Amino acid sequence: EDQVTQSPEALRLQEGESSSLNCSYTVSGLRGLFWYRQDPGKGPEFLFTLYSAGEEKEKERLKATLTKKESFLHITAPKPEDSATYLCAVLNNAGNMLTFGGGTRLMVKP
């Protein structure tokens, strides 16, 4: 059974204080690892897909990296508008179903 664990559950940062969110996974053949952002009262919004170990993707202040066991979402010089819950999910080779982690709630204070 595929499993995804995200840490920490919650993270408080000061504006400009860089940090990283962790996503550890076990999956039977990784087809892709996905990062989503979810704002309160809204559906998850797609950020990145990573397909193989060593791959990196960037978007504004966010950078996602992937190893064979985990992924990191690095946030550089965050702003209050980066406050949200960040979800990680994996897709295995067997099918089309995503398995989501519990998320990391990020709060950035001005």
Partner 1 sequence: DAGVIQSPRHEVTEMGQEVTLRCKPISGHDYLFWYRQTMMRGLELLIYFNNNVPIDDSGMPEDRFSAKMPNASFSTLKIQPSEPRDSAVYFCATRRGGAWAYNEQFFGPGTRLTVL
Interacting residues with partner 1 (CB under 8 A) = 31-32, 34, 36, 41-46, 49, 87, 91, 95-98, 100-103
Residue 56 CB, shortest distance to partner 1, in Å, is 17
For residue 33 the two structure tokens come to: 């690892």
Six token digits for residue 31: 């087809």
Q: Which is nearer to partner 1, 46 or 110 (CB)?
A: 46
Q: C-beta of 12: minimal distance to partner 1 in Å?
A: 19
Neighbours of 56 (CB within 10 A): 12
Shortest distance in whole angstroms from residue 35 CB to partner 1: 10
The nearer residue to partner 1, 22 or 76, going by C-beta atoms, is 22
Nearer to partner 1, 46 or 60 (CB): 46
Residues whose CB falls within 8 Å of the CB of residue 28, separated by 6 or more in sequence, listed in order: 2, 92, 93, 94
Q: Decide: 11 and 105 in contact? Cβ < 8 Å.
A: yes
